[in-house]
Amino acid sequence: MSTIVLAGGCFWCTEAVFEQLQGVSDVTSGYAGGPAETANYKSVCGGDTGHAEVIRVTFDPAVISLDTLLDVFFDAHDPTTRNRQGGDVGTQYRSAIFYADETQMAAAAAKIKQLTERQHFSAPIVTTLEPLVEFFPAEDYHQDYAQQHPDQPYIQDAAIPKACKIRAKYADRIQR
């Protein structure tokens, strides 16, 4: 199994997107980019901790490749908007890939280059590539949030549409 840490806005939304993919065995919401003492929801919401809301995706590369996960990542959020996803604004909602090694960094850089050359988006990609120093799991109540609260208005308005978009585009990659 392998892992990758991704930041694409609110972790409730990105978690809902990746949990449905074949080959993904676990998705954990958390924080990355800042120190241990501020790795909590109350501090991160202030936007000045250095942390981003992230997900750690545990996957089987024999079933789903890192390249496919990166495709899903870029399709699931707006990587052209700095420090914002929809109504969620602040550095904690930035688009970022926290790479664990040179292989992940190279794969992410190559994906950004490929999408840029193909003009996949109408604006420049602002996704940052940041070294993963440490991943801090979020509080228990954030884990599997969309699954546990499907009728919550934010989940209805933000997370479910993103998950449905990916389900439609990657129908052959969705767990049955």
Out of 10, 13, 45, 164, pick the active-site residue.
10
CA gap 93, 78 in Å, rounded: 11
Provide the token pair at 62. 């024999």
Q: What is the token pair recorded at 37?
A: 């003492």
| Measured distance CA(69)–CA(90) in Å, rounded | 25
Q: Is 164 a catalytic residue?
A: no
How big is the CA angle at 93 (ends 87 and 99), to the nearest 5 degrees? 155
Active centre residues (catalytic): 10
